[in-house]
Chain A
Amino acid sequence: MTQINTRAHHGAAVQRMTDLSAQVDAVQAQITTTKRVNTPADDPVAFTRAATLRRADIAGEATARGIDAASRRLTATDVALESITGLVQRARELALFGNNGTLAPADRATIATEVGELARQFAGLADSRGSDGERLFGGAAANAPAYAPDAAGVMAWAGAGTAPILVVGGARLATGIEGPDAFGRNDAATGDDDLFATFASFAAALNEPDAAIRETALAATLGQIDAHVGRLADARASAGARLARLDGETERLARTSLATRADLSKLEDLDMAEAIARIQRLITVIEATQGAFVKTSNLSLWDLLR
């Protein structure tokens, strides 16, 4: 004959109520953190996937910071190139003006003074620095002037290598314009001059007393200046293209980040309505269990013994 053991009956009832309280506690923890997965044991697969997504999201933020730095550098480069283009345009006007045979030597001297001023301004801009103090046109040699006099005393590019590479989504992007690409280089074989040499030869031509030699020299200078205008325009175009690429990458990153967060939310986040309904149901069950326990344990034959 089976019987209901009083001690075991009490123990079992208390155990059931403890279990229910533990369930309420678990749901409450989920509600307060608004997350379904709080520890690896809650859902090992979702936890791993969420760790991967969170990592990708944070790495995306670091990449976005890299893009910002590269954009700052390219924008600063573009601003410097724009100013230099203005200087070269002004030099071109002065070259056309100075090529006028009716000008008095004193006027040419004035023009020569202005050309000297333009050359100094250019020298300053060619050594422009970015936000970290790095030379914009020096390539990887960032802590020394981009242009310095060489052994023969001629201004020459003192840079080396290329500006820091930015890696976005596996692609290696250039983040700067190197001096020779914007300002040309001195090459005796092809007769090319860089912008420093062009300014120097322009000033020298203006100071040439012989009209015939002067005109030839000024015509050559004008040709060089036209070449420089074209090269500067090309350099600005490639800076602009790189900036546009960075903008595109920024947008792509923003979209990726949004998708990643949506995925994370799907993996981790709690269905709040369902959780609240569940906790209500559990509380109702607990109250009913407690009531039933009190009622049934009050039933005792001993009360009826007199």
Chain B
Amino acid sequence: MSDLLSIGAAGVRAYQAALSVTGDNVANADTEGYVRRTVKLATGPAGAGTPLSRDRSGGAGVLSGPIGRATDALRLNAARNAAGDAARFEARADWQLRLQSLVTSSDLDGRIGGFFDAASDLASAPTSTAARAIFLDRAGQAASSFSGLGAGLLALSRDIAAAADTTTGEVNAITAALAGVNDELRRTQAGGNAANGLLDTRDKLLAQLADRIRIDVTISDRGTATVRLGGGGGAPVLVPDKGSAVRIAVQDGPSGAELVLDPTHRAEIVRLPASGTLTGLLEAARQVTAARAEIDALAGRFAAALNAQAVAGSDALGDPGTPLFNTEGLSVRPGLANAGSAGIDVTIADGAALAAGGYRLLKDAAGWTLARADGSASITGPGAITLDGVTVRPGAGARDGDGWFLDPAGGAIGLSLRPIGPERLAVADRFISDADAGNAGDGAIRLDTDPAAAGFAAQAPYRVTVNAAGDAEITDIATGTLLLTAAIDGSRIIGAGFGITFTGTPVAGDSFRILATGAGSSDNGNILKFGDVRAAIGPGGSIEASLDASIARIGSGLAETDRLKATALAVKSDTALAADAISGVDLDREAAELTRLQTAYRANAQVIAAARDLFDTLLGIAQ
């Protein structure tokens, strides 16, 4: 009887334990990282068979075994990796989208086109001051679009670098926490609530880590995790089974941003892992670096080609042309330790020769000091100060000790329109020519500007006459002096500051004049050549085609990432569902479980009641 009582009591205890596990499951149905607990009931051990205890041949009662966690290591691993893949493409798509909208919203394509269209308009009205002013305005727009995009790309790469730094900080915090969990697990008895909580924490940390970088996890019998970075046997260990975690960092390398292991000791560069937010960030950083290089190269090509063409012409005052664009600027970088909030305004005088290393600006009790970075010259003053044509106007709010770096900025950022007036725009060629109205042949001459050409002493204007032998005689119109006789055989004749090419068939006696373009000329020879610059084929085609290609590359990079992201998200949700099918809580199932366990509990309570009845009956017989 007493064994029936103890069997009933064991049953009640066991089912109570099982019921509380089910209750725990229901309570944690919506807790992230909670793994469904299970309890296994086992037959109780055989007793000693004393008069007060049950017989050896009797029932054994029930015991609730250790509380287990319903997990499947393989499915969990698959879910972790899939989540990391999705995180990689999500991070990459985020930043690529920003890159794309930066490039499209700069409207660089439209501004460059507008500039060349203004050149075409100016060619139709070479003497119109309005057309010249519009052309200069468009040139300024194109330059500011370039520099704005350059500055935007620089800011974008700094933002990505900051995000990558934050992510490596998170990775280091997670790996440190995992090392701590490993230590705790070695000290905790398996199967208890404390151990199960630790295992939940471990899995949650592993999932968070896998979201950031690709990891390879090995779980020991005690539940401690060894985490490797990336996959494969040679992969470096991030979190050892026993001991402290290895830190990671991101630094600039020859192929762009790189991942470094143990930055303070070994500083070993490791291959980019295959998944995780950090990988996505570093990939995006490399794309931005590539885009910056392309835009910088394009800005350099644009400025160099147009400056060369502008210099080759003659302006409205009859003087040789001057360059259109400045190609060097300064970008301001506040010191990291600045306590104040002052803004710095920097202007650079036209034609200023900037120091190669840039400049440093410092605020102290004595005032503001602007110095070349190499220390070869400096100037101190209370407010606006100028050195090498660089004028710095500090805003309010600076504290003593604040510093700024003025880094030399070439490429797109450094591009700006020089302050030139409409009359200084070189629309005309330096030399013009006309054919005599009495010419019998249909010959014509073509001039090209060539400052190096010195076939004879410069003495414009000249007359080119075809003599009886069919050769060209170049004479000085003012004095009639014969300067040069050259054969007309289609080859270029070297003049003074120009070259001459004959077209058509000149007849003996035909003559042409070559004149220096005077002030106020309506010649449009030089501005027409801006159209040739537009059509000129360089690396990647014309300037605009090359820009289109860069934009298309950015766009197709984003499109590819979006496609990969969609796939990765689908895989992520599938694998997460598969893992959750084991580990998650199904409320209906728990409800059924609850009903079943409750019934069993009641039945066991009934067993105790029956045992008591039997006992009472026996006691009654004894009376």
A interface, CB within 8 angstroms of B: 2-8, 12, 15, 39-45, 47-48, 51-52, 55, 58-59, 61-63, 65-66, 68-70, 132-134, 139-144, 159-167, 178, 180-181, 184-185, 187, 190, 192, 300-302, 305
Contacts and interface: CB of A to CB of B under 8 A. Distances in A.
Nearest to B553: A44
Given A39-B104, A134-B522, A302-B591, A51 B109 contact: yes
A167 B432 CA distance: 17
A4 B586 CA distance: 6
A2 to B, nearest CB: 4
A181 B438 CA distance: 9
B434 A7 contact: no
Interface stretch (B12-20, B146-154, B369-377, B523-531): B523-531
Contacts of B294: none
Interface string B100-120: 110110000100010011001
B124 A70 contact: yes
The 4 closest A-B pairs by CB, nearest first: A40-B555, A5-B584, A143-B520, A142-B522
Contact of A164 (B518, B524, B548): B524
A96 to B, nearest CB: 27
Interface string B512-525: 01010111111111
Contacts of A7: 29-30, 580, 584-585
Interface residues of B, number: 69
Nearest to B114: A58
A58 to B, nearest CB: 6
B588 interface: yes
Nearest to A187: B438
Contact of A5 (B103, B585, B592): B585
B29 A44 contact: no
Contacts of B549: 48
Contacts of B127: 132-134, 142-143
Which of A39, A42, A58: most chain B CB closer than 10 A? Answer: A39
Contact of B437 (A4, A142, A178, A301): A178
A55 B535 CA distance: 12
A6 B590 CA distance: 11
Nearest to A181: B437
B589 interface: yes
B556 interface: yes
Given A133-B127, A134-B522, A301-B591, A2 B555 contact: no
A65 B119 CA distance: 12
30 contacts: A2-B581, A3-B581, A3-B584, A39-B100, A40-B556, A44-B552, A44-B553, A47-B552, A47-B555, A63-B120, A65-B121, A66-B123, A66-B124, A132-B125, A140-B432, A140-B522, A141-B521, A142-B127, A161-B432, A161-B515, A161-B517, A161-B523, A162-B432, A162-B434, A165-B524, A166-B124, A167-B123, A178-B434, A185-B438, A305-B595
Interface in B427-457: 428, 432-434, 436-438
Contact of B515 (A62, A142, A160, A300): A160
Given A51-B109, A181-B437, A40 B117 contact: no
A65 B126 CA distance: 13
Interface string B566-583: 000000010011001111
Name B's interface SS.
helix
B173 interface: no
A59 B586 contact: no
Given A161-B432, A301-B591, A41 B518 contact: no
Contacts of A160: 432, 434, 513, 515, 518, 521
B587 A44 contact: no
B123 A300 contact: no
B562 A180 contact: no
Interface string B77-118: 000000000000000000001001101100001000100110
Given A3-B586, A4-B586, A62-B121, 10 more contacts: A5-B577, A40-B554, A43-B559, A44-B556, A132-B127, A161-B517, A161-B523, A162-B432, A166-B124, A187-B438
A5 B580 contact: yes
Contacts of B513: 160
Contact of A190 (B438, B524, B580): B438
B558 interface: yes
A180 B552 contact: no
Contact of B528 (A70, A165, A184): A165
A84 to B, nearest CB: 16
Given A41-B562, A140-B432, A167-B528, A6 B585 contact: yes
Contacts of A66: 120-121, 123-124
Contacts of B594: 305
B437 A300 contact: no
Contact of B591 (A41, A58, A300): A300
A210 B29 CA distance: 131
Given A161-B521, A185-B438, A6 B591 contact: no
B121 A164 contact: no
Which of B121, B513, B552, B576: most chain A CB closer than 10 A? Answer: B552
Contacts of B125: 69, 132
A45 to B, nearest CB: 7
A7 B581 CA distance: 10
Nearest to B589: A3
A191 to B, nearest CB: 12
Which of B109, B127, B555, B581: most chain A CB closer than 10 A? Answer: B555
B302 to A, nearest CB: 15
